[in-house]
C-alpha cells in the first residue's frame, strides 16, 4: 500500500466512524427521554432484531456512551481533523 493510498483509506475510515458516532449520538436523546432501556418489550425486537436481547442493547448503549466520553476527552478533535 502506498503512502497516499493509506492516507486516503485512513481518512475515509475515520469519516465513516465519525458519521457513525454522530448517528449514535442523535439516538441517545430519544433513548433517554423515552426510557427505552426500561420500556422496550420483546415485541419491539420481533421485527428483524430477534437475535438481540434488551440486556445486550442496554450494554451496547452504555458502551457507546463510554466511547463518546473518550472522544469528548480530546480524541474527537484528532479524528475530526482528518475527517472529510
**One-letter-per-residue 3-state SS of 26-47:** HHHHHHHHCCHHHHCCHHHHCC
Residue 18: C-alpha distances to residues 13, 41, 42, 44, 45 (Å): 9, 30, 31, 28, 27
- pLDDT for position 1: 85
- pLDDT for position 21: 95
Vertex 23 angle, CA 52 and 13, to 5°: 95
- pLDDT for position 47: 86
| Model pLDDT for residues 33-79, shown as the tens digit of each residue | 999 999 999 999 998 999 999 999 999 999 999 999 999 999 999 99
| Model pLDDT for residues 13-27, shown as the tens digit of each residue | 999 999 999 999 999
Amino acid at each position: 500500500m502506498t503512502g497516499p493510498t493509506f492516507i486516503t483509506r485512513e481518512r475515509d475510515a475515520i469519516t465513516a466512524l465519525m458519521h457513525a458516532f454522530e448517528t449514535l449520538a442523535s439516538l441517545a436523546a430519544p433513548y433517554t427521554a423515552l426510557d427505552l432501556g426500561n420500556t422496550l418489550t420483546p415485541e419491539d425486537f420481533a421485527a428483524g432484531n430477534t437475535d438481540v436481547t434488551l440486556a445486550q442493547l442496554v450494554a451496547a448503549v452504555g458502551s457507546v456512551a463510554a466511547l463518546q466520553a473518550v472522544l469528548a476527552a480530546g480524541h474527537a478533535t484528532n479524528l475530526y481533523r482528518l475527517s472529510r
